[in-house]
Structure 1
Amino acid sequence: MQLLVFILIYPFLWVISRLPNRLLYGLSDGLYFIIYRVIGYRRKIVRNNLLLSFPEKTFAEIKKIEKEFYHHFCDIFLEMLKTMAFSQKEMQQRMVFPNKELLNIFFQKRQSFIIMCGHYNSYEWLLSLASQIPHTSYALYTPITNRYFDQFIRNLREKFHSYLISRYRAIEEIRKQQHRGELCAYGLASDQSPSDSPKGYWRSFMGITVPVFTGAERIAKQFNLPVVFCDIQKVKRGYYEATFTIISQEPSLTAKYEITDTFTNMLEAQIRKAPQYYLWTHNRFKHAKIHD
């Protein structure tokens, strides 16, 4: 059944990847109407997330952000498929890293490092950095249940020389690589919503108390890997610019949760600047502690 579903859907994905930009974004506009207006895909979650995050905004302002988000959501989905048809040259024109030289410091020091980012703007295209830096690049990901679509996504994400590591065996793989002395860049989208364990780390995010993912900090401290934040900004439709800021060069010397707090504050500032580009379909506040 998994193979049949993949065989039926794949031809449509292939055709979409070959569409010229004008048709691609025309399709995106049509998809927006279906996803937002007709189906209302996760609209309750999106609206609730926005209302919780921006209590100071009027309902009209919330609706405007909501509509802009769904337009962007459709864009990045189709842009991900468009990766199938991109050459490396075209990818480098669409996803630009103005200060990627900052990362060369770690190569010169013979250090691996961690890139932390949120599900903001074209986080999928961040993987194209792998073809532009000397480190071997890895991204932690959650495998898809359908193994054929899982392989399809792996092929897309690894097209420009990055590699994926299942989050279920990340520590084991990283330990092996660091033991061998490999120079690696590890990318982690660190704004997931972890379990609501009372022993976890809870803090404010967008003004709401929630459990916060600390995996990147724990890996950084365990192997003393420098950490950088990636800020991805949208230049125009289909074009993005990503810049890097060092969070910590010596994680083993930082206070507990210092790296996580710094990342969360930077992500929140990014979201408040242009909230329509954050992935609001994630139920980020499902474990929130709401105070009257």
Structure 2
Amino acid sequence: MQLLVYSFAYPFLWLISRLPFRVFYGLSDFVFFLVYRVFRYRRKVVINNLKLVFPEKTAVEINTICKAFYRHMCDMFLEMIKTLKLNETSLKERYRLINPEMLQELEKNRSVLVLFPHYGNWEWSIIVNRYIESKGYAVYQKIGNVYFDRLIRKIRAKWNTSPITQKETVRTIVRNEKANVRAVYGIVSDQSPQAHVAQYWTEFMGIKVPIYNGPEVIAKRLNLAVLFARVKKEKRGYYSLELIPIAEEGAKTTQNEITDTFLRLTEEQIREEPTFYLWTHKRWKHKDKVPEAFS
């Protein structure tokens, strides 16, 4: 069944990836109409999330952000497909790394974690591998359909980037450090962990929730450098990536310093322009389950 679904879908994905950008974004407008108007995909989740974190905004403002977010989400999803046939020159033009020297200087001495929030476009960040000498890894969440998972790995493996699943991340980093292999790891780090296993709870956008602090644990244990990836959507189809230092040496940071700094930088970006955050995620679903130790 998985093969049948993939065999049906792949020709359409391949065709989409070959479209000229003008036609490509016209298709995105049509997809937006279906997702937003017809299927109303997770509309309640998005509206509730926006109301929760922006209680000061009016219903009109919330709806404006919601509609703009769906337009961006459709663009971003199709841009991931576009990566199949996007060449290096075009991607460098459309996803501009503002300060590659920040990463290049750090990688001379140690491995680096680059932490992304679900903001802007993180899929095209694989082009960063063209600016570094170290081995580049892109951490992703494994897909249930093995054929689509293989396709995602193929997309993210462009320009010698090595895709690894979340479960493979820790052992890959530990193995590389033991072998003295310096590497750069791109990780989307604002997921919502399961409440019963969360080791840290703190406020995110004003609401106390469980926090995924795996990157901090590994950075402190292996003394890795940590950077925040600040992605800005300059205009449709064009992004810039600025790397902001969180820690030059993870082992010298205080407890929760890396995680808290990542969260504050993410909040700052969301408040500046909320349209480009991934509001379909149920990020605040555990807000009523705060353990006494963190209340």
Q: Distance in 1 between matches of 2:156 and 2:170?
A: 21
Q: Which residue of 2 aligns with 1:140?
A: 139
Q: Which residue of 2 aligns with 1:261?
A: 260
Q: Distance in 1 between matches of 2:115 and 2:128?
A: 13
SS of residue paired to 1:108: coil
Is 1:62 paired with 2:41? no
The 5 A counterparts of 1:56-205 are 56-109=56-109, 111-197=110-196, 200-205=199-204
Q: Distance in 1 between matches of 2:60 and 2:170?
A: 45
Q: CA deviation at 1:141?
A: 1.6
Q: Distance in 1 between matches of 2:234 and 2:198?
A: 41
Is the CA contact 1:116–1:230 (under 8 Å) kept in the aligned structure 2? yes
SS of residue paired to 2:138: strand
Q: Distance in 2 between matches of 1:274 and 1:135?
A: 33
Q: CA deviation at 1:284?
A: 0.3
Q: Distance in 2 between matches of 1:199 and 1:87?
A: 40
Q: CA deviation at 1:290?
A: 8.8
The 5 A counterparts of 1:198-277 are 200-277=199-276
Q: Distance in 1 between matches of 2:197 and 2:234?
A: 41
Q: CA deviation at 1:199?
A: 5.7
Kindly provide the amino acid, as one letter, of the partner of residue 225 in structure 1.
L
Kindly provide the amino acid, as one letter, of the partner of residue 99 in structure 2.
N
5+ residue gaps in structure 1? none
Kindly provide the amino acid, as one letter, of the partner of residue 256 in structure 1.
Q
Q: Which residue of 2 aligns with 1:284?
A: 283
Is the CA contact 1:136–1:184 (under 8 Å) kept in the aligned structure 2? yes
Deviates more, 1:250-259 or 1:184-193: 250-259
Q: Output the aligned Cα RMSD.
A: 1.3
Kindly provide the amino acid, as one letter, of the partner of residue 88 in structure 1.
E
5+ residue gaps in structure 2? 291-295
Q: CA deviation at 1:150?
A: 0.1
Q: CA deviation at 1:132?
A: 1.8
Q: Distance in 1 between matches of 2:54 and 2:256?
A: 25
Q: CA deviation at 1:52?
A: 0.5
Q: Taking structure 1 as reference, are residues 196 and 98 closer, same or farther at Cα in structure 2, changes over 3 Å only? A: same
How many residues get paired?
290
Q: Which residue of 1 aligns with 2:293?
A: none
Kindly provide the amino acid, as one letter, of the partner of residue 59 in structure 2.
F
Q: Which residue of 2 aligns with 1:19?
A: 19
Q: CA deviation at 1:242?
A: 0.1
Q: Which residue of 2 aligns with 1:49?
A: 49
Task: List structure 1 runs of 4+ shifted beyond 4 angstroms.
Answer: none
Q: Distance in 2 between matches of 1:221 and 1:118?
A: 20
Is the CA contact 1:209–1:290 (under 8 Å) kept in the aligned structure 2? no
Kindly provide the amino acid, as one letter, of the partner of residue 7 in structure 2.
I
SS of residue paired to 2:159: coil
Q: CA deviation at 1:169?
A: 2.4
Deviates more, 1:59-68 or 1:76-85: 76-85
Q: CA deviation at 1:200?
A: 2.1
SS of residue paired to 2:8: helix
Q: CA deviation at 1:108?
A: 2.7
Give the TM-score normalised by structure 2: 0.96
SS of residue paired to 2:107: helix
Q: Taking structure 1 as reference, are residues 68 and 161 closer, same or farther at Cα in structure 2, changes over 3 Å only? A: same
Is the CA contact 1:114–1:225 (under 8 Å) kept in the aligned structure 2? yes
Is the CA contact 1:131–1:162 (under 8 Å) kept in the aligned structure 2? no
Cα shift readout 1:228-255 (whole Å, capped 9, x = no counterpart): 1010001111110000111011211211
Cα shift readout 1:244-274 (whole Å, capped 9, x = no counterpart): 1110112112111111000000000001111
